[in-house]
Homo-oligomer: A and B are copies of this chain.
Amino acid sequence: MVDISAQASPAVTRVADALRSGALPDVAAYLPDMSPGDIAYLISASPPATRHELWSLLDHEQEADVLNELPDDIRNHFLADLQPEAVAEIIVQLDDDDVADILHELPQAETDLILDSLTTDDRERFETALSYPDDVAGGLMSTDTLTIRPDLTMDVVLRYLRRHTRLPENTDSLIVVSREDKYVGLLPVRTLLVSDPSASVREMMKTEREPLDAMTSADEVARRFERNDWISAPVVDPQGKLIGRITIDDVVDVIREQADHSLAVMAGLGDGDAFTPVLQTAPQRAVWLAVNLLTAILAASVISLFQATIEKVVALAVLMPIVASMGGIAGTQSLTVLIRAMAMGQINDRTEIWLVRREILVSALNGLIWAFVMALVTTYWFDDSTLGLIIAFAIIVNLLTAGIAGASLPLLLERLKIDPALAGGVILTTVTDVVGFWAFLGLAAYFYG
């Protein structure tokens, strides 16, 4: 039994139980003590009707925090129901990178209405973050940074910090900047806490950490955080001036979305929510089915060229799906290897030739093995060794094609700026279907005339 209570935190389990038994007053009583993340999780793990019930039970003050923890599509769904003034009231409570994230996804007209209902101060606070696209370092950063000068002593820094009532989230380091606001280095809080109070920032700071350029892609930002186990990283403009700071919590979202994206898109799903209602889901899926119907008709029209041969040797109709299917499977393996390596940033001119060559060799080898096996199976099944030889030949041709297409398609699509996870699979199986049917039936037509 897949059950939320098997693993979830006690707080989540309690509310899930109350929801199941329909005890809404109990749910309402538990919610105020729950973390925004847990509430957001409960909402996202509920069907649409329950989501609205949960949302309506929230305290007014909880709304902003919960909204901020929700997946983008669910968050936008709730926001769409609110007036611009209500949205404005919510977003002023959020970090500027989260606000940029929200406003980037709304229609421009609505964004303008929301910005209009803000005070000038708030509008200015969001301006820097809004000036970068979502998928680069500038769009992920918060401008809420804590900076210090290199000539201070630890003692002075500690006193300076104590003047704050709160420090920015995930402050693992203070950022050291020059008088011109240029990035100089980082002073880890860990260092600050154990250092001699009279030591200077200049002596104790770490200068070997390269800052992130504001235009670095979100994917590369995620990879650098992963590789170096960062908690936060400074972001600079082209002149080296500090403009913000990215924290691991936003990077974790990028990592999750990036990995999930390939999976969803390869199945023709888009990045959407699992609980989209029927009438919205059906048309979204229909588009993908339409594309695949066209490619299936293309493959069928290849078969139709050989109707006379099939009429003579009907065993061809029995065997031809096997040739096509083996090519599709082998090609999908090569394709997925390349798509994964791309996501990990492992593709470069030193590795791509190596990988394409490896894929071709692997499919050639597997082509030989399975050609041999299918030759035996076919000869035995239909008592026809010519047919055995024909299918063996077709399998070798199709698996070799699968390896070449599976490995080179993602590289080609990437250069054409087309998402390989989206288009790769359809193009690949079209190629392996067409080549598989053509090789098998074409050769049969030659032999059986």
User: With an 8 A cutoff between CB atoms, is A244 at the interface?
Assistant: no
Residue among A38, A343, A348, A369 with the highest chain B CB neighbour number at 10 A: A348
Q: CB distance A362 to B282 under 8 Å?
A: yes
Residues of chain B lying within 8 A (CB to CB) of residue A266 = 263, 336
Residues of chain B lying within 8 A (CB to CB) of residue A195 = 162
Question: Chain A interface mostly helix, strand, loop or mixed?
Answer: helix
A342 to B4, CA, bound (A): 11
A2 to B217, CA, bound (A): 14
The answer to whether A344 and B293 touch (CB under 8 A), given A190-B166, A231-B170, is: no
A360 nearest CB neighbor, chain B only: B278
Q: CB distance B252 to A226 under 8 Å?
A: yes
A20 to B349, CA, bound (A): 9
Residues of chain B lying within 8 A (CB to CB) of residue A267 = 332-333, 335-337
User: With an 8 A cutoff between CB atoms, is A80 at the interface?
Assistant: no
Residues of chain B lying within 8 A (CB to CB) of residue A348 = 2-4, 16, 45
Distance in angstroms from A331 CB to nearest chain B CB is 10
The answer to whether A227 and B2 touch (CB under 8 A), given A7-B220, A325-B296, is: no
A374 to B297, CA, bound (A): 10
Interface 9-mer from A101-109, A119-127, A302-310: A302-310
User: With an 8 A cutoff between CB atoms, is A61 at the interface?
Assistant: no
The answer to whether A2 and B411 touch (CB under 8 A), given A171-B190, A281-B362, A285-B366, is: yes
Q: CB distance A47 to B354 under 8 Å?
A: yes
A190 to B265, CA, bound (A): 41
User: With an 8 A cutoff between CB atoms, is A358 at the interface?
Assistant: yes
A433 nearest CB neighbor, chain B only: B321
The answer to whether A170 and B167 touch (CB under 8 A), given A267-B336, A317-B317, A344-B44, is: no
Of the residues B208, B226, B292, contact of A325 by C-beta under 8 Å:
B292
Q: CB distance B318 to A304 under 8 Å?
A: yes
**Other contacts beyond A41-B345, A50-B350, A301-B318: 6, CB < 8 A:** A20-B350, A46-B351, A251-B252, A255-B259, A288-B333, A307-B315
Measuring CB to CB, which residues of chain A are less than 8 angstroms from any residue of chain B?
A: 1-4, 7-11, 16, 19-20, 33, 35, 37-38, 40-41, 44-47, 50, 69, 158, 161-162, 164-167, 169-172, 189-190, 193-195, 208, 210, 216-217, 219-220, 223-229, 231, 248-249, 251-253, 255-256, 259-260, 262-264, 266-269, 274-275, 277-278, 281-282, 285-286, 288-290, 292-293, 296-297, 299-301, 303-304, 307, 310-311, 314-322, 324-326, 329-330, 332-333, 335-337, 339-352, 354-355, 358, 361-362, 365-366, 369-370, 373-374, 377, 411, 414-415, 433
15 A–B contacts from the bound complex (CB under 8 Å): A2-B347, A2-B411, A2-B415, A11-B210, A37-B229, A167-B193, A169-B229, A170-B229, A255-B259, A263-B340, A288-B329, A289-B329, A292-B326, A310-B317, A321-B321
